[in-house]
A and B are shown apart, each in its own frame.
Chain A
Amino acid sequence: MIKALNTNICEEHVFSNIFKTLSKDVHNFLRYKYGDGLNPKDKVQEAFIKLWDNCKNISPEKAKSFLFTTANNMMLNEVKHQKVVLRHQQIKPKSYTNENPEFLMEESEYMKKYQRALAKLTEAQRVAFLMNRIEGKKHKEIAEELGISRKGVEKRIYGALNKLRKEIDGI
């Protein structure tokens, strides 16, 4: 992790370390919250450029919250009523199996529904849920990362799961 004492973000190895530790988290957070439509990768870049520009004023332990806040604000500047769309990997037919086309069709339909259902979650639900399901983060970790209580995280993830089920299964 980032060493906090006697380090300065302006030092390249410190900056590099922060990037390697946090950039993916920032990226995923932006994606989960706002979808792929607003180029989360670019926002990550911009947020880190801002961090570099302000490296003298920000202590390494503050870098994380700075990055998340900055990146989030950049997104907010652009987000209007844009629909949240998260791209997913296509289910590719495996050449060596005999998965029938019908099955593939169903799967594809399922993913479309899933995508729409994700868009209908609240930002908070989507972020917590995907951090948990995609990245396999424990509730406690997510709570720390988002700065909320563990109970809050559980509620969000559970709420997300049920909402997704209802949307996808059409209950």
Chain B
Amino acid sequence: MKKEILIQKWLDGELNDAEFKEFKALPEYESYTKISEKAILFEDTSYDVDFEFDKLKTIIKDRQLETPVKTINWMQPLMRIAAIFIIALAVYYAPIYGETTIVKTLASNTKSIELPDNSKIKLNTTSAIKYKKSNWENAPKVSLVGEALFNIEKGSSVNVVTWLGDMTMSGSKFKVIQRADYFEVVCYEGIVTLIYKDKEITITTDKSFKIVDGETFEEKMNTSDLPTWAKG
């Protein structure tokens, strides 16, 4: 038999007795068998399938534990987007909450307005008031241009701002006329204090205070009648 085939058969463990004798007679016999025997020493006997499998399971489990962290990472951009929306909405709605209420009247037109503290304002023609609902408790403030009758709720006080300055009214009924060169406050009930040229002026019931062309007049008047436009 051809040497190569003989050896290949030996390597495959297929030699019969006769063939094995033939193989044994080869000069390389000893060398081959030694190589074959010693090959076993190159085996890695440390490979333990169960141990390796446990190790693998641990690795996979550890990774799964890390997965929620990944989800959080994924959540982060979502939270950012949500935050942007919230901020955008807040910015969009903020002016409504902090918005200034403006009430205007045209010629031959009057209006009644109720302030957040139930005080009432009657606005004569071509006048306007401006106030903020949102901050009313901290700063009850009404800006006025034109003519208006204020009926301040008892126990409340309101700050009326005109070109002249701030007036503080409490629990009073009064009229303010404020036109280009003319200013008048008529007090029907209670007390009105106002500051004019750093001087505090107090106007009591049935008194009026006028500024005409820079001249100030304080007058006593009969205020039993409200202005005609404010009636009814």
Contacts and interface: CB of A to CB of B under 8 A. Distances in A.
Interface of A: 16, 19-20, 23-24, 27-28, 31, 36, 41, 44-45, 48-49, 52, 86-89, 91, 110-111, 114-115, 118, 129-130, 132-134, 136, 138-139, 154, 157-158, 161, 164-165, 168-169
Contact of A19 (B7, B36, B43, B53): B53
B8 interface: yes
B59 A27 contact: no
B60 A52 contact: yes
Of B4, B13, B38, B41, which is in contact with the most chain A CB atoms at under 10 Å from its CB? B41
B42 interface: yes
Interface string B193-207: 000000000000000
Q: Which 9 A-B pairs have the closest CB atoms?
A: A133-B39, A88-B41, A134-B43, A139-B12, A154-B8, A88-B42, A89-B41, A86-B42, A165-B31
B56 interface: yes
15 contacts: A19-B52, A19-B53, A23-B52, A31-B44, A45-B56, A91-B41, A111-B41, A132-B11, A134-B42, A154-B12, A157-B8, A158-B4, A158-B11, A161-B11, A165-B31
A89 B36 contact: no
Given A19-B56, A41-B52, A132-B11, 20 more contacts: A20-B50, A23-B53, A24-B47, A45-B56, A48-B56, A91-B41, A110-B34, A110-B38, A115-B42, A118-B42, A132-B12, A133-B39, A133-B40, A139-B11, A154-B8, A158-B4, A158-B7, A158-B11, A161-B7, A165-B28
Measured as residues with beta carbon below 8 angstroms from the partner, the interface class of chain B is 20 to 34
Contact of B32 (A28, A111, A161): A161
A3 to B, nearest CB: 19
B45 interface: yes
Contacts of B45: 89
Contacts of B59: 45, 49
Chain B binding surface SS class: helix
A114 B36 CA distance: 11
Contacts of B50: 20
Interface in B128-162: none
A89 to B, nearest CB: 5
A52 B63 CA distance: 12
A87 B44 contact: yes
Contacts of A91: 41
A49 B59 CA distance: 8
Nearest to A16: B53
Nearest to A118: B42
Given A49-B56, A138-B13, A114 B35 contact: yes
B55 interface: yes
Contacts of B63: 49
